[in-house]
Amino acid sequence: MSNKDAVMMVGKLMELAARTAPKAKGQDLVEAVLLTDEQRTTLGEEMVSYGKKNNVPGFVRDGKNVLDADALVLIGLLPHLGAGMDCGACGFPSCAEFNTISLTRDFQGPNCALRLLDMGIALGSAAKVASDMNVDNRIMYRIGVFAVKLGLSKANICHGIPLSASGKNIFFDRPALVTSAGIPFRP
């Protein structure tokens, strides 16, 4: 078995970990998808192209990580109604009011805070599997933006976890980005 095959197998195990992660009220609204190499390459190329065209270096940097990765897992939160708890964590006084609003920016919203926690637990469970198997990984927001735009995810909100197995973690020494005030930072 090649390293690439082993990393793809870890990606499948990450899908399983996301699927079996605990969910609020026992309702599964989490999407977990291991991309094909063709899908991963298209996604990375689109991110790099967008970043260069719009002078957004974070998309260029993260897109290059996607292109250099051995595999990529998407984890997202599918369209949903409020959990019916009227907890107010979403910022609305009731789930009924939450259910009447629709917003679109990078992602669809609003999203139920309890359901977002489900997604977060699934992301952590998947990343832990990769870590336990000594596969380098990093959870990335920008990947999810383009996964949704390209139709690779049906989720309201999505993040990507690129995977790599090489002599050095390709997600560790990443170039610093610069804020509009000229201050370097490493998101």
| pLDDT tens digit sequence for 24-45 | 999 999 999 999 999 999 999 9
What is the pLDDT, as a whole number, of residue 173? 78
Q: Are 30 and 21 within 8 A, CB to CB? A: yes
What is the pLDDT, as a whole number, of residue 1? 85
Q: What is the pLDDT of residues 130-184, one digit of tens each?
A: 999 999 999 999 999 999 999 999 999 999 999 999 999 988 876 666 655 565 5
Q: What is the pLDDT of residues 36-86, one digit of tens each?
A: 999 999 999 999 999 999 999 999 999 999 999 999 999 999 999 999 999
Q: How far apart are CA 11 and CA 70, in angstroms?
A: 10
The number of distinct structural domains making up the chain is 1
Q: How far apart are CA 184 and CA 156, in angstroms?
A: 31
Q: Tokens representing 145?
A: 């933006």
Place of tokens 């976890």: 161
Q: How far apart are CA 92 and CA 99, in angstroms?
A: 10
Residues 6+ apart with CB under 8 A from 168: none
18: confidence class by pLDDT, cuts 50, 70, 90 = very high
Any idea what the CATH number is for the domain that residue 172 is in?
A: 3.40.109.10
Phi, psi of 5 (to 5 degrees): -60, -40
Closest CA to 28 of 115, 123, 144: 115
Closest CA to 122 of 24, 5, 10: 24
Instruction: Tell whether the model's pLDDT for residue 185 goes beyond 60.
Output: no
Q: What is the pLDDT of residues 114-132, one digit of tens each?
A: 999 999 999 999 999 999 9
- Domain of residue 19: give its range: 3-185
Q: How far apart are CA 9 and CA 75, in angstroms?
A: 16
User: Beta-strand (E) ranges in 47-183?
Assistant: 71-77, 103-104, 108-109, 136-137, 157-164, 177-178
User: Beta-strand (E) ranges in the chain?
Assistant: 30-34, 71-77, 103-104, 108-109, 136-137, 157-164, 177-178, 184-185
Q: How far apart are CA 59 and CA 127, in angstroms?
A: 21
What is the pLDDT, as a whole number, of residue 30? 98
SS3 label, residue 108: strand
CA gyration radius for the chain? 17
